[in-house]
Structure 1
Amino acid sequence: MSETPGWSSPDQQPNQPQQPQQPPQPPPGYYAPPPPGPGPTIKPGVIPLRPLAVGEIVDGAITTMRRYPKLLIGAAAVVAAITQIVGLLVQLPFLDDLTAVVTLDPNTVTQEQAVNQFTDAIVGFLTGTLLSVLLALIGTVFLSGFITVIVGHAVLGKPVTFAQAWEEFKPRLLPLLGATLLAALVIAVGLLFCIVPGIYLWVLFALVTPALVLERCGVGAAFGRSKTLVNGAWWRTFGILLLTVVIGWVISWIISLPFGLLGAASTGFSDDPTAALSIGSLVLSTIGGIIASTITLPFSSAVTVLVYVDRRMRSEGMDIELQRAAGHGGI
């Protein structure tokens, strides 16, 4: 971050005061060898400043949400509400077309009419879906970058306000949007060829957001940083990200289940396929989606940032630099 020390990449020389009276010393942080022995565990914030176990990463994400509930949960609630509600409003005009296709009686229309109705319904539905996806992408980009800034402060145990976090993140919003779109395109191409390349690229570029926001580097450099950090630990990174997806899916399912049951009850548990397209069912589903996203989005974003921090502490000795930034280590 621009005003918070400790996040510069190894290529960026840290700013240290000159001390001409002392003999030249090697640059601190990333270049200095760690002191011998395990040393005491320093924990100024939500995680200990040493390589992390998987449980510590998950616990650190949850602890961050508990320490900064207004910032993380509040921002996630606003973003989720806007994206879900607008997405619902975009889809509503096409409900009649979808209902007409679902209830279409082949004995009352010609084949050409049926094809035209089906085509119109699909085109309208896909258009609405595309707009909803783009809106959700923009909201997710903002939220992930904003949460990255907050987690950066939380690691160092530093207080942060909404205004401070926004001021630090604001210059990175457009680059992050571009990086996210590029990553989505690359992953989508990988998925088109085969699922395995898509998954590989998803993991390889999973750390683009924290690298771009915290190191304040360019889009290309952020992709390179993510690739460098994940190399040699692809399977471990994949396992943590997969665990995060599973936890998020379970939370979403638990939260959405009551709203799904209420939606079914509102239609009398009808077997009619159009019942799921009723406005009441869709509104209840939207409410469940808002609540679920309010919890799962901050959690998954925080885990990603802590995976990035863990990889830098393991491969670049960043724990020493972070200890200095947090005011420990005798500095």
Structure 2
Amino acid sequence: MIPLRPLDLGDVLVGAFASIGRGWKQLYGTAVAVYLAAVLLVGGAIAVAYSAVGDRLREIIDLPRGGEPSWAQVQPLVVAFVCVWAFALVVMLLSTAVVTAAVPAVLQDTVLGRPVVFGAVWRRAWERVPAVLGTVLLTGLIGLVPMALLMAVFVALMVGLSASLDGDANAAGGLAAFGFLGVLATAPVVTWLWVKFSLAPHVAVFEGQGPVRSMRRSWDLVRGGWWRIFGISLLGYLMAAAAGFAIREAVDMASFVPMAGTGPLRESQDLTTLLVGLSGWFALALVGQLVAQIVTSTFPQLVTGLLYVDQRIRNENLAPVLASAAGGAGPHPPAPPVVG
């Protein structure tokens, strides 16, 4: 599927699309199963939360015009929202880890020219989910600093806008400037660290390493190829984002027709009637979001996985090992051993 030499941009992109062509059923089948299960779990959590606090929600909706809900009415809704949000976050992190682990499991077979079997892909991916989840969480922590600073900028700007009406916005303006300068200072560092650890999920699956050792291994593999990995990875993410955006736009256009037929909500209609009227739009939007999520979560990882193989070819002479594994007996040879 790929030449047994250092890969250029064309080789990486062709290899990524070739992997999709050979293993799309297994790759996308795993992603669809995982994300549908995640949606069902989150939907069940929402249904449970609504059954618990639905009465309070209807009380707030039925308040007379201009009436303010009491904290006793709002508190259960806040607690339910936080619980559902936390549960959804855990479910999405776990589903992302499964899909991220499935990508190198598929790539391992396609690079070696072996048949891609769904059961084998699922087994190898599920076994490595804890390690991959660890690398995803540890890498995600890197981005918390600029995200926190960005949130500080946003809050400071909102406070400054409110304070400017009273003629005192100096403190909020200083906080916003500090947060903006902090983002400018930390964003390059975070980007550099993100690229250094970008190969860790593939190390966890290909080499069977734990989270910390996978990140150390990724750090070593990226040495000497940071700019090339950054540029090709960024291109892969941009291509996937553009495809996901196009899919969502197409689905939004298709869902405009059922939405246009709902008409304005009459006074005699209640919340249930409104939810039924929006069910068609929600179903189409969910399908579009699911397809876009699958594209944006698999294609960049295929690109990154091929960059992992490329770095090992460049630094560890992996090409003869790949040639030997591709010509070995058995439909599922073990992953190429760690060299060095």
Q: CA deviation at 1:57?
A: 1.1
The structure carrying a bigger helix percent of its residues is 2
Partner Cα distance (1:61, 1:271) in 2: 47
**Aligned residues of 1:188 and 1:198 also touching (Cα < 8 A):** no
Alignment RMSD (CA, Å): 3.5
Unaligned runs of 5+ in 1: 1-45
User: Does 2:223 match 1:231?
Assistant: yes
Aligned match of 1:217: 209
User: Which residue is 1:147 aligned to?
Assistant: 103
Residues 103-132 of structure 1 show CA distances to partners (whole Å, capped at 9, x for unaligned) of: 89996124xx37777776565444433322
Cα displacement (A) at 1:267: 3.2
| Equivalent AA in structure 2 for residue 233 of structure 1 | G
Query: What SS does the corresponding residue of 1:157 show, helix, strand or coil?
Result: coil
Deviations 1:212-254 (A, max 9, x none): 1111122221010111122332222222222122111111122
State the structure with bigger RCO (CA 8 A, min sep 6), 1 or 2. Answer: 1
Describe the SS at the equivalent of 2:143. Answer: helix
Question: Does 2:130 align with 1:174?
Answer: yes
Task: Give the residue type in structure 1 aligned to 2:24.
Answer: P
Closer, same or farther in 2 for the Cα pair 1:263/1:296, shift >3 Å? same
> Is the 2:101–2:126 Cα contact (8 Å) retained in structure 1?
no
State how 1:77-116 maps to structure 2 within 5 Å.
Answer: 77-91=32-46, 108-110=66-68, 113=69
Q: CA deviation at 1:84?
A: 3.2
Q: Which of 28, 31, 35 is the equivalent residue of 1:73?
A: 28
- Paired position in structure 1 for 2:240: 248
CA contact (8 A) 1:57 1:303 kept: yes
Cα distance in 1 for residues equivalent to 2:326 and 2:199: 23
What percentage of aligned pairs have identical amino acids? 28
Say which SS state the counterpart of residue 258 (structure 1) adopts.
helix
Unaligned runs of 5+ in 2: 150-182, 266-270, 329-340
2:148 aligned to which of 192, 200, 207: 192
Give the TM-score, by structure 1 length.
0.71
Q: State the SS of the aligned residue for 1:200.
A: helix
Q: Is the 8 A contact 1:85 1:286 kept in 2?
A: no
Match of 1:266 among 258, 275, 299: 258
- Using the TM superposition, name which of 279-288 and 304-313 deviates more: 279-288
- With the length of structure 2 as denominator, give the TM-score of the two structures: 0.69
* Total equivalences in the alignment: 280
Compared CA separation, residues 87 and 199, structure 1 to 2 (3 A): farther
Moved more, 228-237 or 144-153: 228-237
**Would the aligned equivalents of 1:190 and 1:201 in 2 still touch at CA under 8 Å?**
no
Task: Tell me the secondary structure at the aligned position of residue 141 of structure 1.
Answer: helix
